[in-house]
Amino acid sequence: MEGCDYRTQCEPVRARFAKLKGREVALSVENLGKVFRAPDGRAVVALKGIDVATHRREFLCVVGPSGCGKSTFVRILAGLETATSGVVRVGGVPVSGPGSDRGMVFQGYTLFPWLTVLRNVAFGLEENGTPRREAEREAGQWLALIGLESFAESYPHQLSGGMKQRVAIARALATRPRILLMDEPFSALDTQSRARMQAYLIEIWKKIDITIVFITHDLDEAIHLADRILVLKAHPGAVAELIEVPVPRPRSHAQALGPEFRATRARLDALIHPPEDEAEAEEAGASTLVTRMTPAGDEVE
């Protein structure tokens, strides 16, 4: 790893970030905060002062220790939860609730068990007023994209966990959102299915015009998938750092042994599991870091 820092970018990676940042901002989050009221009346600050912006077709991963507010963050982006302060914009327009410009995939299996695979995918289209036959035709195309057209008439209980999540992705994409929000979608899967799902997701992302915000607590998964990784710290949930992943694309799991991957992994480990005696120094340096990261990675170091 000699000479390799997590900020060291080879030419193709630099070129990719230059192209990415030339695109319009798809999603922006400004000074986002969330305070929950515990049953005893105590205030729980889940998120504080989060600033981040993603560009069109970017793949952003969000990592952080358990309880740092990752799910709260993505639920606010989805409009399922309201923020206490700050604003979320999609294509410049403030978000005030759920909308068809954002699709969501959850960790648990959330397909309707009483509907066939095809009807699960067609569901959102019909909700949006698409006539049934047209909705089913479009749903069939999404099933073909995820390679499950032969399971159109199956029911969710007949599918493996990975297949269910592929259908959930197709269902979220069928209404043509601009943003796909995913909260630990693969964490219930075994290692092999998870690796396959990561590959499927990247294939889909390459084919369609979608910006992805993907929550995970698996650091290797984040490095494998993301353009940038938003690292949150806990109590309160705040930005620790926004990292540009220096690993070139197309990616393979073999790159986990490479210097860029290992340097990024080491940096994430240091941020998420700071050694006890460095925790205070980290705390003191936090405001400078946040300020530096506020322009959402405009600088390529």
Binding site for Mg ion (CB under 5 A): 70-71
* The binder of ligand ADP chosen from 12, 41, 42, 66 (CB under 6 A): 66
For residue 233, list its beta bridge partners.
238
Count of residues touching ligand ADP (by CB under 6 A): 12
Question: C-alpha angle 42/48/239, rounded to 5°?
Answer: 135
Q: How far is CA 92 from CA 29, 54, 116, 232, in A?
A: 10, 12, 37, 24
CA separation for the pair 43, 37 (Å, rounded): 5
- Residue 66 CB, shortest distance to ligand ADP, in Å, is 5
C-beta of 38 vs 254, nearer to ligand ADP: 38
CA separation for the pair 239, 233 (Å, rounded): 6
Q: Is 2 exposed, middle or buried (0-12, 13-18, 19+ CB in 10 A)?
A: exposed
Q: Is 69 in the site for ligand ADP (CB under 6 A)?
A: yes
Closest CA to 177 of 105, 83, 72: 105
Q: What x-and-dash track marks residues 5-44 binding ligand ADP by CB under 6 A?
A: -------------------------------x-x-----x
C-beta of 187 vs 255, nearer to Mg ion: 187
188 within 8 A of 215, measured Cβ to Cβ = no
Q: Is 61 in the site for ligand ADP (CB under 6 A)?
A: no
* The binder of ligand ADP chosen from 72, 130, 198, 216 (CB under 6 A): 72
- Residue 106 CB, shortest distance to ligand ADP, in Å, is 12
CA separation for the pair 87, 101 (Å, rounded): 16
- Residue 53 CB, shortest distance to ligand ADP, in Å, is 21
Q: Is 71 in the site for ligand ADP (CB under 6 A)?
A: yes
The binding site for ligand ADP (CB under 6 A) comprises 36, 38, 44, 46, 64, 66-72
